[in-house]
Structures are given as structure tokens and as C-alpha cells.
Chain A
Amino acid sequence: MTETQAGIEAAAAASGSSNVPAIELDGVVKEYLSQGEAVRAVKGVTMSITEGEFFSLLGPSGCGKTTTMRMIAGFEDPTQGKVWLHGQDVTDVPPNKRDVNMVFQSYALFPHMNVWENVAFGLRRKKVAADEIKRRVGEILEIVDLTGREKRRPREMSGGQQQRVALARALVNNPRALLLDEPLGALDLKLRQAMQIELKRIQREVGITFVYVTHDQSEALTMSDRIAVMNDGQVDQLASPREIYERPATPFVAGFIGTSNLLSGTVDRITSGFAVLKLGGEDRVLVAGETHRAGDPIAVTVRPEKIRISTEEPTGDVSVVRGTVFEVVYLGLYNSYAVSLADGAEVTVFQQNAVDSTSTAERGDAVWLSWQPQHSYAIGS
């Protein structure tokens, strides 16, 4: 929870002038009754989403991310806690009275209405004047590149087009925030990548807060300003994509986002701001941090692409571990090496296939692995 708190403070500091957050969750808990037993889907989530930000809720299926979003939309009532939209407590406000709109995973377009009627639905409910509805629907259809398809029925359109109708139908209402529930999940890879860029462009263009639920870490890293990584009903880490990738707060985050190596041992000594982790033999791992004490058990992560593999002993103030290569996989852009260490741990190393690369190794080679101290982080458990 300390990470979450830190995240909120960071967000508050970052937003600076914009005083009221777009969305705030305060100790939100959701319990379901399943066969007479209370199941906690969301176990106390507190977060604050800044106005105009692209915010992602990332996590594996069943982590509570969709339930959290549905509580923001108003489709689920929190068992405990409060939901605030722009400084207003909306915990007991029904979804049709909340100033947020949602894009559903299944698109949920009205099958008996054509594109134009689908998009105009929200404005008609708000009793907007007919000529203004006409103008705004026309404008938004232009933004999502569907002009000329007003008379089509949803079932006559491709998945990508339906997706854009769903987006237009939500955006046309000028919501204070747009909630997107895995909106690209049903599209194929090429289209999904195109739509990621498209979504980001639209978000910049309309300047609305986007809350994006996904289980796809690369999608979240590409598009988001900030990400909340959820695990088992709780937020494990809330930070920028770079920070989440490079400084995962928990072993779960380290494992869920990209590939990560986890090394554990005990702190040997403290030298000039670094804790030196002893793994055995000449191995030494340097970790930044003043708070560690000799004898403490410690776990450290390092990303595969930060490690340099070499058959000669490296020099300088770097972390060094020795091992044996037992697998080399050629992946085009880079090679992936699997290296086993003296204590039996396995380390993955990515090495770019540059022309002048001196750092190559063959299967069975005894190698030195080295990396800069700032690339490894101690993580809590």
C-alpha cells in the first residue's frame, strides 16, 4: 500500500496546477456472494487519476481491474469505500447520472440501430437540440474516420469499424472521463497496433481522461501516462511505464511486466552508497540504497537487456556474476542467452546483434555477466 500512497503523492505533485483529480478511489472494496461465501474481488483500492491523463489498470484476468472500472462507471456498488468524480462523491449515483462513458469489450453496439443512431443515442437522452446532435455526431464520426457510413448497421461492419463506432458513441457526449474495458481485445495484432496509435491520437485530440483496462503489458506500456498494476484485488504499483518497467516494486510486477531476472541472497557489506550482495565466489551485486544493513536477506531484479555477457572479466564498479551458458536462442534483433549461476539460479540475457558486437558466447561457455549498479533494484516481497 505504501507504493500506492507514493503514487498518489507523485501524481498530485505532477499535476501541480490542476487542483481536483478527475477520478478518486478511496479504500474501495468489492465483495461478491458466491455460493453463500463472500469473495473479495477488490481488496481496498485507493488511487487518484489526474485530469487529461491516459491511465491504465493492468493485471492478469481475475485481478479486479474490470470490477474497479465498473465501480467507476457505476455498474457495481462498492462494498466499502468511496468513488469521487471531479471532487464529487458519486458512490451512490446510478450510471446514467455519471459524467463518464464506457467503451465495452464486446462494443455493445445497439444492433437494431444504424451507426448514426448509435452515436446519437447519448445526446438524445440528454435532450440536446436536433441540429446540434447532427453537428456533433458528424464531427465525431469524422474523428474516428467513419464519415459516409452513417446508415450502416453494426453487423454490416468489421471489428475495427465497430470498435470505432463504440468509441464515437462514448466520446460524442464529451464525458469528463472515458473508461475503456479491454477495447482492443477482439482485434487481430496488426489492427490492434494501429488502433493503439489511433486511440492515443484521439486522446490527445479530445484531451479527455482515459482509463484503460488491459491485461496486455505492452499495450499499457505503449499508451499510458501512468499504470496501476493490479494483482489479487490490490494495486501492487502505481507509476509511469518507465518506472514500472525499470523499478518494479514487487516480484509480481517484475514477473508480469516483460522478462525479469530475480536474484536473492544476503547483504554482505555497505560501500559508498551501495549494498553489496554476496552470491558466492567472486560474484558481487551492487544495489543502490542506504537503508540496507549487512546480513539482511535481499532480492534484486535486473532486466535481461541491461546485462552484458562476456567471456573476459569485466572491470569497473559493476555488478558481476559468473555462470555457464546452457542455451542460445537467435531472435533476429537480438540473441537470448540462458545462463546458469553457481547457486543454480537461471539468468536470461538479451544481447543485441550488432555488427561489431564483442560480447558473444557459445553454448557451454563460462561467462561473466555484468551490469551497471543502477540497473538492479532491491524489491520488497
Chain B
Amino acid sequence: MTSTSETGAVGTVPPPRASGTTSGARSGPPVTRKRSGRFGDGLLKGYVWLILAWLFLPIVVMIVFGFNDTQSKSNVTWQGFTLKWWGRLGDYPDLTVAVFNSLKIAVISVVITTVIGTFMGLALGRYRFRGQGATNLVLFAAIASPELVMGASLLSLFVSSGVQTGFVTVIIAHVLFSLSFVAITVRARVVGLDPSIEEAARDLGASTWVTFWRVTFPMILPGVVSGALLAFALSIDDFVITQFTSGSVQTFPLWIWGATRIGVPPQVNIIGTLIFAVGVVIAVVNTVTSRRRT
């Protein structure tokens, strides 16, 4: 899509220069940036579309099959457009319960995670203290350790300490694995802040409390929101750890897993579409406001 006049010019110039440009486009980045040959240009475009298709095709398929006028139990072949599933969202009462369980777990764990994680991020980014290295290591370990290991160890912890698995244990588990993500995104934001901005607030007569709410918090808010979004996304679709720690509580992913044996109904696609849409809207709003903020 870059300036067509230039691309055209490359096509019409004498062969030596044209070939030079083309080979340069393939081997050296500095030349590519200035002027790319037709071949290199096409290659780059094709590559970009391939990546985009790879990322978005599954999502598109999910959305499209929510409108599939399927007759059988399995919703895998296109049989015509319909809106009827949107009107029959509540056909499976246990699915509805599972979705609301997932939302409840996600919201509660995100609130807890965001509060604790924000303060952790602030402490890690702003101060030097004893045990800081150990804290960083634990944060990283929580991200790096396989879910299977975490789920199994949580289950054995709950069982051996006599805690009945259920709603509360799922929330504890979700806070555990998403805390690191919030703490790390907030820490990144805090490290980038000029500490004299907070000093300026103090200098202008703001108490520590007012400085935090009027100056520090608005500045780290984009980090807090992205951390919370990340935590929400991790919680709403977690399967492995939830499976270990949920006891008899059914969540959305657990219900889908159960349904795969008999065929996943289009309602699942629609709920997936709705969750995706909400996520996109929040992400866009966060990007726009944080761009305006700083």
C-alpha cells in the first residue's frame, strides 16, 4: 500500500537498478524500509495476512457458527443462517448456571487480584526492601509453573488440610495464578514513572493519601486496568486448575468440556462471542483513555 508512484518507478527503471533494489529488499532491512520491490512487497503483504488469518480465523469461525441453522447435535457443518439460537440462549439451564458461576468467579477473583497486585506492583517498582528478590522469583515462578502442576498441588493442599473444594477454593486458585500478571504490569508502569512527580504533589501541599489518589493512581491506572483485563481473561477461560479445585461447582469451560462428548450447542458460540465482544470493547476503551491520559 506504500506510495504507488515509487513502486511504479521501480518497475520502469532500467534492469540493473531494478534488480539491485529487489535483491537489496530481500537482504538488507535499511533498503527495504526506503523502497521495496514488487516481489518483496507482495511477500510481506502475504505474510501479514497469513498471520492475521491464523490469529482471527478461529474466532471468526466461532462467531459464524453461532448463526448456524444446524439440525444435528454437533455444530460443525454450515447449514444456513439463523438468529434463532440468540432467542434460545437459556435452553440449557445448567449452561446458564455455569456461565454465571464463571462470571462470579472471574469478577470476585479479579477484584481481589487487582487490589493486592496493584500494591505489590507499587512496592516492587518503587522501593528497595528485604526479600524483594525472593518476591520477584515467586512472581515469576507462578507464571512459569505448568498449570497442571499448580492444579494438582493445590488440590493436594486443600485435601490434606481438610478444605472442602468448591466456589471458594476456585477463587483462591484463580487469585493465585493471576496475581503475578497484575503485579508485573503495574510494576512496569511504576518503574517508568518519574518519582519527582509525586514529590511535586507533596511539595504543593498534598498529603500522602491525596498524592496517591490524585497523582499516583491516575498515572498507574492504565497498568492496573490492563492487569485486571489479563486476570479476567485468565480466570474466565481457565480449565485445568479449575478442574482440580472446583469440586462440584460447574464453570463455563468445564461445561463445554463435558458437552464435547455429545456435541457443543450453538449457544456456546454465542456466549463465547459475547465474552469476546466485551473484552474487545474494554481493551479499546483502555487504549484510548490511556493514550489521552499520558
Residues of A within 8 A of B (CB): 73, 75, 94-97, 101-102, 104-106, 108-112, 121-122, 125-126, 155, 169-170, 173
Residue contact B204 to A173, C-beta cutoff 8 Å: yes
Chain A positions within 8 Å of B202 at CB level: 75, 94-96
| Residue in B200, B201, B206 whose Cβ sees the most chain A Cβ within 10 Å | B200
Residue contact A108 to B206, C-beta cutoff 8 Å: no
| Nearest-Cβ distance from residue A100 to partner chain B, whole angstroms | 8
Chain B positions within 8 Å of A173 at CB level: 204-205
CB of B293 within 8 Å of the partner chain: yes
Contacts A96-B204, A110-B197, A173-B205 known; 20 new A-B pairs at CB < 8 A: A75-B199, A75-B203, A94-B202, A95-B202, A96-B202, A96-B205, A101-B203, A102-B199, A104-B196, A108-B196, A108-B200, A109-B197, A110-B200, A110-B215, A111-B219, A111-B294, A112-B219, A121-B206, A126-B205, A173-B204
Residue contact A122 to B205, C-beta cutoff 8 Å: yes
Residue contact A112 to B203, C-beta cutoff 8 Å: no
Chain A positions within 8 Å of B219 at CB level: 111-112
Assembly CA distance A106 to B201 (angstroms): 14
If A111-B293, A112-B218 touch, whether A125 touches B196 (CB-CB below 8 Å) is no
Closest to B222 in A: A112
Interface code B171-203, partner A: CB below 8 Å = 1, 0 otherwise? 000000000000000000000001011011111
Closest to B193 in A: A111
Assembly CA distance A75 to B211 (angstroms): 14
| Nearest-Cβ distance from residue B260 to partner chain A, whole angstroms | 47
Q: What would 22 A/B residue contacts be, using CB atoms closer than 8 Å?
A: A73-B203, A95-B199, A96-B205, A96-B206, A96-B207, A97-B205, A101-B204, A105-B196, A106-B194, A108-B194, A108-B196, A108-B200, A110-B201, A110-B215, A111-B197, A111-B219, A111-B294, A122-B204, A125-B205, A125-B206, A169-B200, A173-B205
Residue contact B199 to A125, C-beta cutoff 8 Å: no
Assembly CA distance A106 to B192 (angstroms): 14
Chain B positions within 8 Å of A170 at CB level: 203-204
Closest to A99 in B: B205
Assembly CA distance A159 to B158 (angstroms): 58
Assembly CA distance A363 to B219 (angstroms): 63
Closest to B207 in A: A96
Residue contact A104 to B205, C-beta cutoff 8 Å: no
If A122-B204, A125-B205 touch, whether A104 touches B293 (CB-CB below 8 Å) is no
Chain B positions within 8 Å of A104 at CB level: 196, 199-200
Chain B positions within 8 Å of A97 at CB level: 205
Closest to A110 in B: B215
If A125-B210, A155-B294 touch, whether A108 touches B197 (CB-CB below 8 Å) is yes
Chain B positions within 8 Å of A73 at CB level: 203
Residue contact B201 to A112, C-beta cutoff 8 Å: no
Closest to A73 in B: B203
Residue contact B201 to A121, C-beta cutoff 8 Å: yes
Assembly CA distance A296 to B102 (angstroms): 91
Residue contact B204 to A169, C-beta cutoff 8 Å: yes
Closest to B200 in A: A108
| Residue in B201, B202, B210 whose Cβ sees the most chain A Cβ within 10 Å | B202
Assembly CA distance A169 to B206 (angstroms): 14
Assembly CA distance A106 to B198 (angstroms): 12
If A106-B194, A111-B294 touch, whether A121 touches B199 (CB-CB below 8 Å) is no
Assembly CA distance A63 to B78 (angstroms): 77
Residue contact B203 to A102, C-beta cutoff 8 Å: yes
Closest to B290 in A: A112
Chain A positions within 8 Å of B214 at CB level: 121
Chain B positions within 8 Å of A108 at CB level: 194, 196-197, 199-200
Closest to B198 in A: A108
Assembly CA distance A102 to B205 (angstroms): 11
| Nearest-Cβ distance from residue A116 to partner chain B, whole angstroms | 14
Interface residues of B in 212-230 (CB under 8 A from A): 214-215, 218-219
Closest to A127 in B: B205
Chain A positions within 8 Å of B201 at CB level: 110, 121
Assembly CA distance A99 to B294 (angstroms): 30
Closest 7 CB pairs of A and B: A122-B204, A125-B205, A108-B200, A108-B196, A112-B218, A104-B196, A108-B197
Chain B positions within 8 Å of A122 at CB level: 204-205
Chain A positions within 8 Å of B199 at CB level: 75, 95, 102, 104, 108
Residue contact A112 to B204, C-beta cutoff 8 Å: no
